[in-house]
Amino acid sequence: MLANQPPAVEILTPAKLNLFLELRERRADGFHELETVMVAINRFDRVRMAFTETDDVHVDCHWLPNQAVVVHRYRGAQTVAALPSSQHNLVTRTLEQFRQRFSIAKGFRATVAKTIPAGAGMGGASSDAAAALRAAAQLCDIAPHEPRLLQLAGEMGSDIPFFFGASDGPMTAAIATGRGEQIASIPVGGKLHFVVVHPPASVSTVEVYRRCQVPPEPVSATAMLAAMVSGRAARIAGQLLNRLADPSRATSDWIDRVLTAIRRTSVLGYQVTGSGSACFGICPNAATASRIAHQLQATGVGIAFAAESVQIANPSRDLGSFL
């Protein structure tokens, strides 16, 4: 970095899979009380940010070339999956709120280089917003576990606190309650291996929640938590649940095609992640996940890749990046 260049912060921020998601009740504010177990996986967006002398926030959000090529080829020659412009980007809205909340006079310029599929239930927008908050805190010398930061994270999106990280150390997985903004880290008993398939269709989270039904007797996350602590993939496979899977499948017939293809493989278990459209299978090891990813890529139901659990470095210890 040149001597007179303003400081810049670069953070790699992961995607997530929901291994368990149960709805407990519909709230008066229109949100749903839920219990969900989320795990971070090694599919990253890269957020790079610096101050500007202007009085505004500008965000450039684009696909990393390899991901853009894959999306382009998959959707034919016409389009590449659209990403929101700066004014409609969750990163912009989050940074604008940050400047107001902490009375920051300077502006921010951020570039978001993406590989996390959008509208896939993998938390891409939430992850980018969490990384931008962490970068802004570092640029402004604000302690990362400052309570107002986590408060702002939860206000900007139910999944953002998960990606913002736990204040008591690195985290791989968490149980999230409330809207999803109350998180508690889970001590996972080992690395987890997955195959993820993202069809050429994105799903609206709002639409899926609009269609969802709270069950009369919600399932408890207790057995999934015990399975996660054991770290045994076969045990976790037996506890996979997503109460949003049915409403998600109703919004796009691509999801049933993906689930049918995954069902025909030797994964230990499989499910839709979040509100969809991506689905995942849990595998016993990395080699099996890689083999099944190639098998699924050949079926033409979507972009298939192997993934494994990763740590979200906690903001108080590592504000820098995964680099």
Ligand X SMILES: C[C@@](CO)(OP(=O)(O)O)[C@H](O)COP(=O)(O)OP(=O)(O)OC[C@H]1O[C@@H](n2ccc(N)nc2=O)[C@H](O)[C@@H]1O
Ligand Y SMILES: Nc1ncnc2c1ncn2[C@@H]1O[C@H](COP(=O)(O)OP(=O)(O)O)[C@@H](O)[C@H]1O
Of positions 14, 121, 144, 247, contacts ligand Y by CB under 6 A = 121
How many Å apart are CA 16 and CA 280, to the nearest integer?
A: 11
Asked if 36 interacts with ligand X (CB under 6 A), we say yes
Give me the least distance between CB of 7 and ligand X, in Å please.
Answer: 29
Burial 140-168 (b: 16+ CB within 10 A, else e): eebebbeeebbebbbebbbbbbbbbbbbe
Task: Answer yes or no whether residue 161 interacts with ligand Y by CB under 6 A.
Answer: no
| Residues designated catalytic | 16, 159
Rounded to whole angstroms, the maximal C-alpha distance in the chain is: 62
Which of 206/226 has CB closer to ligand X?
206
The residue number with the shortest CB distance to ligand Y is: 124
Contacts of 103 (CB under 8 A, 6+ apart): none
Nearest CB to ligand X, comparing residues 126 and 309: 126
DSSP for 172-241 reads: SEEEEETTTTEEEEE--SS--EEEEEE-S----HHHHHHH----SSPPPSHHHHHHHHHT-HHHHHTT-E
Instruction: Determine, following the binding rule CB under 6 A, whether residue 121 of this chain makes contact with ligand X.
Output: yes
219 binds, among ligand Y, ligand X, none (CB under 5 to 8 A by kind): none
Give yes or no for residue 233 binding ligand Y (CB under 6 A). Answer: no
Residue 293 annotated as part of some ligand binding site: no
Looking at the DSSP assignment, which residues form a beta bridge with residue 39?
17, 173
Strands 193-198, 32-52: pairing is: unpaired
| Residue 126 engages ligand Y in binding (rule: CB under 6 A) | yes
Pseudo-torsion of CA 149, 151, 152, 158, nearest 10°? 130
274 is in an annotated binding site: no
From ligand X, ligand Y, none, interface partner of 179 (C-beta below 5 to 8 A by class): ligand X
Long-range contacts of 66-73, Cβ-Cβ distance < 8 Å, separation of 24 or more: 66/115, 67/114, 67/115, 70/303, 71/303
* 195-214 residues near ligand Y, rule: CB under 6 A: 202, 205
Q: How far apart are CA 278 and CA 281, in angstroms?
A: 11
Question: How many angstroms from the chain centroid is the CA of residue 212?
Answer: 20
Within 66-95, the residues that bind ligand Y by CB under 6 A are 83-84, 89-91
Q: Is 13 helix (H, G, I), strand (E, B) or coil?
A: strand
Q: Which is nearer to ligand X, 93 or 109 (CB)?
A: 93
* Least gap, CB of 8 to ligand X (angstroms): 27
Shortest distance, CB of residue 256 to ligand X, whole angstroms? 17
Question: Is residue 120 near ligand Y by the rule CB under 6 A?
Answer: yes
- Let me know: does 134 contact 316? Beta carbons within 8 Å: no
Pick from 125, 166, 268, 306 the residue near ligand Y by CB under 6 A.
Answer: 125
> Does position 24 bind ligand X by CB under 6 A?
no
Task: Give the residue numbers of the binding site.
Answer: 117-127
Residues making contact with ligand X (CB under 6 A): 18, 21, 30-32, 34, 36, 121, 123, 126, 157-159, 179-180, 205-206, 209, 274-275
Residues making contact with ligand Y (CB under 6 A): 61, 83-84, 89-91, 112, 118-126, 128, 202, 205, 274-275
Task: Give the residue numbers of the binding site for ATP.
Answer: 117-127
